[in-house]
Structure 1
Amino acid sequence: MASSTSMTVAAAVLVVVLAAAQPAWAAGSACYSRVFSFGDSLADTGNYRFVFSNDTRAPVLWPPYGETYFHNATGRFSNGRILIDFIADALGLPFVPPYWGGRSAEYFAGGANFAVGGATALSPEFFRQNGAPLANDKTVHLDMEMDWFRTLLNLLCPNDTAGCTNVMNNSLFLVGEIGGNDYNLPFFAGVPFHKIRTFTPSVIAKISSTITELIGLGAKTLLVPGNLPIGCVPTYLMRFKSDKKEDYDPETGCLRSMNEFSEYHNKLLADELEELRKLHPGVAIIYADYYGAAMEIFLHPKKSVALAKIKDNRTSTIEYPLVACCGGGETYGVSSARCGRGEYKVCDDPQKYGSWDGLHPSEAAYKVIADGLLRGSYTRPPIAINTNSCPQLTEVVSPVEFKVLYDL
């Protein structure tokens, strides 16, 4: 896949790092046989390095990315584990490997991740037709990720894709988060707010058609995330900062209009999922409220979450929810210097920060969101109801095990 000897070596090193990072796992103990994941940088576990092999200077390919948990860059857009890592771990599965990192059925024994940093739900053609062309026409989108998935099915079930019933029935499908870049890219390019809002029904329709296609292929359990509160993202706070006090939520300091936009997307998505449930009553279609789970961080800035059952049993205290750990700048930790590029700075303790690089959550923030989904009330219907064969998750959501401490 690489375009030079150096990148071939780098890609080989990534595979070794990813293999070494897998937690201990026995197939018989897992709730699902596999996890398949689609999405963008919030879910990418290493595909970016392979898909954009010519982009050798991309900061995500080098430290300080990955420094907290993996102690090396794995292609994750964070300082450590991301949400899909916590979900897979809690469900008794290994970390989900990037699709472009392997070529054998054995490599995908625990599933595959098709998410790529920068991916959109809609194709570049859609944006061209709607007067908001993307800077890169090679942007990955959901249709491409689905093409890769169908190719993988041919590998897992040679010459008999229809015979993959057990693979599909016994797998968890994480469809997203996706759609964020359908808004990020035009917002940062200066496309008017009202114009971007008109894209949302098309984004939701694409997510819906992808779910429908997966169900047609045999998927029985799908976890579909909404968007994060972009009004609390440091890069948004810096780019769209306002002198008007009323533009900010007094409880959180987040931008009202941007969060209302995220809520608009999420409402349309939740409504669409309800319609899909009516059409497919035998399928578990679970809405993952990333927005609500993440808002716990901003509503309770020094919230500490006891992470029993998520391997390391550490407690994270996020003291700076609206600040990026890696980058620069005095207000939100964001400046012209990007994390990993230019005269950037890295904070002493990333676990105290809500954002890693100004656009992506820190590992600590991902932990809080994972807790909200797996232990809290931020999945609809509750994910525990749909995982009766999962003793690990039953333990995870036990109210006895889950404790929330507030350091106010």
Structure 2
Amino acid sequence: MDSGNNNFLPTSAKANYLPYGSNFAHGPTGRFTNGRTVADFIAEYLGLPYPPPYLSLHGQMSLSGINYASGSCGILPESGALLGKCKSLSEQINLFEWTIETNIEISQHLSKSIYLVAVGSNDYINNYLETKFDTSKRYHPQTFAHLLIHNLSQEFQRLYKLGGRKIVMFEIGPLGCLPSISKTHLHKGDCLEETNQIVSYFNEMLPSMLNNLTFTLPHSFFVLGRINSKVYDAVTNPTTYGLTDGKSPCCRTWENASAVCIPLTVPCINPFQHIFWDGYHLTEPFYSFLASQCLHADSLCTPLSIQQLVKM
């Protein structure tokens, strides 16, 4: 969940303008939502400041956490390339490695730190489902999922070798329910179940991969964040979560199916009743809900909640 790294990169995937950050004390920082993200809420719980984007530090260091995420990028290096230059997962871990090499004092904190990873969505949105790529013609959905899982496993093993021990990996959400995708459906706002099925191959392979890493890498804890079903349920039953709108974005987006907010437009008057902020990303209250569930319940983040993971 990018907190502003893309502000420093030549990409059109930016969120450093209003109405992004409309409900955030620091305004539009580059977060693709109206306020805080899951990472921000978890940092608050741990008594830490919001993790700053790595590229904003300019060689300085933060021992209380760093955000390496890069909006529109994914596991595969080509994902997001149509929007400009972003940092793929491999490049993000390269930056993490550089952080360690240039700041020896940070090494004593690595095994105690918690690493939040939310990646993979853009490999579908900005690659597999993107008609300007031929990826879907070259790969069956299940084969593509295998490719992503294999590459993700390799990167997690790199992270482990660099000192990471407590890794939380979130599922890919139900992409067929995103406003930027579902609005192209005959019945505007309905979920495209075919798209959700494509993503499900990846999510179904995640648990065994994470369990295998935990079993084979000593003293490691790979936790799965089961968010897909929660988001899907909220979209189809928003009132259950105290929300009124589970289909439309709170901000105005471009008519060409772009997921981002139109700059400086006025968002909806009740963002805390919406699930989606723009055509792709969630609102602060729903990020808060997911973070709370992961913090306190090992049913969403399994087999350990964040609370439990802190004590390990």
Q: Which residue of 2 aligns with 1:206?
A: 151
Distance in 2 between the 1:168 and 1:109 partners? 10
The answer for unaligned runs of 5 or more in structure 2 is: none
Q: Which residue of 2 aligns with 1:83?
A: 38
Match of 1:166 among 73, 89, 108: 108
Distance in 1 between the 2:263 and 2:66 partners? 34
Q: Do the aligned residues in 2 keep the contact of 1:293 with 1:372 (CA within 8 Å)?
A: no
Structure with the larger strand share: 1
Structure 1 residue 335 corresponds to structure 2 residue 255: yes
Q: Do the aligned residues in 1 keep the contact of 2:32 with 2:281 (CA within 8 Å)?
A: yes
How far did 1:141 drift? 0.9
The 5 A counterparts of 1:135-174 are: 135=82, 138-157=85-104, 165-174=107-116
2:272 maps to a residue whose letter is Q
Distance in 2 between the 1:151 and 1:71 partners? 28
Q: Which residue of 2 aligns with 1:386?
A: 309
How far did 1:69 drift? 2.0
Count matched residues.
305
Q: Secondary structure at the match of 1:214?
A: helix
1:64 maps to a residue whose letter is P
Distance in 2 between the 1:213 and 1:336 partners? 39
TM-score by length of 2: 0.88
The 5 A counterparts of 1:217-296 are: 217-239=162-184, 241-242=185-186, 253-296=190-233
TM-score by length of 1: 0.68
Q: Secondary structure at the match of 2:222?
A: strand
Higher gyration radius (CA): 1
Q: Secondary structure at the match of 1:263?
A: helix
Identity %: 25
1:382 maps to a residue whose letter is L
Q: Do the aligned residues in 2 keep the contact of 1:120 with 1:139 (CA within 8 Å)?
A: no
Distance in 2 between the 1:45 and 1:68 partners? 15
Distance in 2 between the 1:375 and 1:171 partners? 18
CA separation of 1:192 and 1:101: change in aligned 2, threshold 3 A: closer
Structure 1 residue 112 corresponds to structure 2 residue 33: no
Q: Do the aligned residues in 1 keep the contact of 2:4 with 2:31 (CA within 8 Å)?
A: yes
2:93 maps to a residue whose letter is M
Distance in 1 between the 2:37 and 2:20 partners? 12
Distance in 2 between the 1:302 and 1:90 partners? 27
Structure 1 residue 361 corresponds to structure 2 residue 303: no
Q: Which residue of 2 aligns with 1:370?
A: 291
How far did 1:294 drift? 2.1
Q: Which residue of 2 aligns with 1:18?
A: none
Structure 1 residue 324 corresponds to structure 2 residue 244: no
Distance in 2 between the 1:324 and 1:196 partners? 31
Q: Which residue of 1 aligns with 2:23?
A: 68
Distance in 2 between the 1:378 and 1:281 partners? 24
Distance in 2 between the 1:149 and 1:77 partners? 22
How far did 1:352 drift? 1.0
1:121 maps to a residue whose letter is I
Distance in 2 between the 1:342 and 1:223 partners? 33
Distance in 1 between the 2:190 and 2:7 partners? 35
Match of 2:240 among 299, 303, 322: 303
1:97 maps to a residue whose letter is P
Q: Do the aligned residues in 1 keep the contact of 2:43 with 2:51 (CA within 8 Å)?
A: yes
Q: Which residue of 2 aligns with 1:188?
A: 130
How far did 1:273 drift? 0.8
How far did 1:367 drift? 1.5
How far did 1:209 drift? 1.0
CA separation of 1:134 and 1:219: change in aligned 2, threshold 3 A: closer
Q: Which residue of 1 aligns with 2:77?
A: 123
CA separation of 1:337 and 1:205: change in aligned 2, threshold 3 A: closer
Match of 1:216 among 146, 156, 161: 161
Distance in 1 between the 2:150 and 2:225 partners? 17
